Amino acid sequence: MSMPIMITTMGSVFVGFLFFMAAFVSFMYKKSKKLTWGCFAVAVVLITVVPVGLAIYVANNPA
């Protein structure tokens, strides 16, 4: 795995966890449901879809 793809994966997961925490905080402070679900949706994409997409890309394009 190349270094830029690994850094992108790690960054995506890190930002995803930040959005997950933002969703939790907005839920606890009773902010709008749109904000809570929006942050949660972005978190799910960043934590799951982006790393899996990168893994599939690396698996299909060996160095």
- pLDDT tens, the chain, 63 aa long: 689 999 999 999 999 999 999 999 999 999 999 999 999 999 999 999 999 999 999 999 876
Helix (H), strand (E) at residue 3: helix 3-28
Residues 21, 30: Cα–Cα separation, whole Å:
14
Neighbours of 37 (CB within 10 A): 13
Q: Please report, for the chain, the start and end positions of each structural domain, with discontinuous segments joined by +.
A: 20-63
pLDDT of residue 62: 75
Query: Is the whole-model pTM more than 0.85?
Result: yes
The pLDDT, as a whole number, for residue 63 is 66
The reported pLDDT for the residue numbered 47 is: 97
Q: What is the pLDDT of residue 20?
A: 98
Q: Which residue has tokens 């890190």?
A: 14
